[in-house]
Amino acid sequence: MRRVVFNQKGGVGKSSIASNLAAISAARGLKTLLIDLDPQCNSTQYLLGRDFQTGERDVGIFFAQALTFKHRNNRNLDDFITPSRYDNLHVIAANPELGEIMSQLEAKHKIFKLRDALAGITDYDAIYIDTPPAFNFYTLSALIAADACLIPFDCDEFSRQALYNLIENVEETRQDHNEGLEVEGIVVNQFQPRASLPNRIVDELKEEGLPILDTYISSSIKMRESHDAGVPLIYLAPKHKLTQEFVDLFELLHPGFAVAKSADEVSEPETA
């Protein structure tokens, strides 16, 4: 299953959701790949460390070679995979230079490059794709390559208005380029259960028939601590409420999945 995590609005938790679901997937024994298409490189730094040097092993090089005529020297997408320090979890790193080459890729109609490349990667049980906070070349490439789309939503009125346009973009992509694409659900993120506004907005979206997933992700300082440590929640704080919410979300997306490890059995790997 290839899942793209996408919202045109920034700050809604795309990288956090993609990275933590990927980490849980790997901890449960699934061979998992995360592809970071965001020039901000948040997922890359989160899972590989702030000091990771992309060099010749990032997705920017993969896309850049599509602009050359040296096809004999072109490498396959799996040449850019970097193992993380967590078992079963691999990353194709982003690079800030992604933004610099985007207009050239658009001009040369390379929008199917990612889809075609992923067709050659068959040994992963789960693939998560983190996207930029914009409906651009990389986001469209991800939607064309994916089976399903998860939409983070942070219970804000501005986010609500953007949500309608986002769903239209996904539906248009489905009709024009990828008829198998489905909106797997809207992930309510940074939820404050005691505040009236988030509850009202979520209830109204449900009444409108939007696919709000039943598991909500709470607002918690633990997420910032996880970012600061560069350690996914399942390894940093396996018993924390926020971690359990992510585990519940993972299990909601994988009904009937046989648990290989419980949260209590997961611990942070040794640092080399």
Q: Which of 150, 219, 157 is nearest to 185 (CA)?
A: 150
Amino acid 272: pLDDT: 36
Q: Kindly report the CATH number assigned to the domain that includes residue 118.
A: 3.40.50.300
- Give me the number of domains the chain comprises: 1
* Locus of tokens 């850049």: 64
Amino acid 73: pLDDT: 65
In a domain, 260, yes or no: no
Amino acid 248: pLDDT: 96
Amino acid 189: pLDDT: 95
Amino acid 155: pLDDT: 85
Q: Give the range of the structural domain holding residue 115, as residue numbers without chain letter.
A: 2-254
Amino acid 212: pLDDT: 97
In a domain, 270, yes or no: no
pLDDT tens-digit series, residues 152-173? 999 888 888 889 999 999 999 9
Burial class, 188, CB count within 10 angstroms (exposed 0-12 / middle 13-18 / buried 19+): buried
Residue 176 and residue 149 in contact, taking contact as beta carbons nearer than 8 Å: no
In a domain, 69, yes or no: yes
In a domain, 266, yes or no: no
In a domain, 267, yes or no: no
In a domain, 158, yes or no: yes
Query: What is the pTM assigned to this prediction?
Result: 0.92
Cβ-count burial 125-164 (b if 16+ within 10 Å, e if not): ebbbbbbbbebbbbbbbbbbbbebbbbbbbbbeebbebbe
Amino acid 16: pLDDT: 97
Residue numbers in the chain where pLDDT is lower than 50:
258, 260-265, 270-272
